[in-house]
Amino acid sequence: MEDNTNKAVLTKCTHCKHEMSQPLLCDHCETLNPLPSFMDFFQLMGLPRRFEIDLKTLHEKYITLSRHSHPDFHAEDEPDVMALAMTVAAAVNEAYRTLSDPIRRAGYLLELLGGPASAQDKSVPGGFLNTMLMLQEELEDARVAADAAAKARLKQVLLTQRDGLLKSVERLFADLEAAAACEATRQQQLHEIREQLNAVSFVRKSLSQLE
């Protein structure tokens, strides 16, 4: 899939009028430019719109943008610049929070690609709820008996399950990118990603009860 998602937002710096190679921060004069109204989190962080991203690049971008939009950095500026900095800082924080976590990133990307939200498509892979129910019953027994060994074993089962689900999410996103499928196939692929992500939600909830 050709990535042209970033090109649309590139403009000239409002301050020095130089061409900017990235949105928001001018590479020439480092002026903070207005936030385009239609920018998604991938564009904001200068990343291609895909599931597999370079976390190091994301982190570096986060540090740079955070520094340039930090309120302390603009304390002496005009109110409109301060307001812009605050808007950017909030957007950057939210983008980082979303993209740095693979589960949040997958859910965000899925909806960006036109996939269903969990409220619209609650399905899970076949037999999954049965497994979940069994695990929950075992968890309850372990809790009642204060059986630390059983709890540790169940935690491991859940972690393995979560990682397996995330692996298949990764694979499904890669499939989606690899083939220019017809709309029906594409919708089916998006639906399958939603199924895996719904399953992850259940696993994550159970894991949170173990903490």
Partner 1 sequence: MPYNEKVLDHFNNPRNMGSMDKAARDVGTGIVGAPECGDVMKLQIKVDDSGVITEAKFKTFGCGAAIAASSLATEWLKGKTLDQAGELKNTELAHELALPPVKIHCSVLAEDAVKAAIEDWKRKNAAPAETALATEEMQGKTKT
In the complex, the residues that contact partner 1 under the rule CB under 8 A are 118-119, 122-124, 126, 129-130, 132-133, 136-137, 140, 197-199, 201-202, 204-206
Cβ 165 to partner 1 shortest distance, Å: 12
Spatial separation of the C-alpha atoms in residues 178 and 27, rounded to whole Å = 33
Distances (CA, A) of 104 to 107, 119, 152, 183: 5, 15, 25, 25
Judged by beta carbon, residue 17 or residue 122, the one nearer partner 1 is: 122
Judged by beta carbon, residue 80 or residue 183, the one nearer partner 1 is: 183
Cβ 96 to partner 1 shortest distance, Å: 23
Cβ 103 to partner 1 shortest distance, Å: 12
Judged by beta carbon, residue 124 or residue 176, the one nearer partner 1 is: 124
Judged by beta carbon, residue 15 or residue 204, the one nearer partner 1 is: 204
Judged by beta carbon, residue 14 or residue 209, the one nearer partner 1 is: 209
Q: Over the chain, what HEC string results? A: CCCCCCHHHCCECCCCCCECCCCCECCCCCCECCCCCCCCHHHHCCCCCCCCCCHHHHHHHHHHHHHHHCHHHHCCCCHHHHHHHHHHHHHHHHHHHHHHCHHHHHHHHHHHCCCCCCCCCCCCCCCHHHHHHHHHHHHHHHHHCCCHHHHHHHHHHHHHHHHHHHHHHHHHHHHHHHCCCCHHHHHHHHHHHHHHHHHHHHHHHHHHHHC
Cβ 178 to partner 1 shortest distance, Å: 24
Cβ 137 to partner 1 shortest distance, Å: 8
Judged by beta carbon, residue 23 or residue 116, the one nearer partner 1 is: 116
Cβ 93 to partner 1 shortest distance, Å: 23
- Side-chain half-sphere CA neighbours of 7 within 13 A: 3
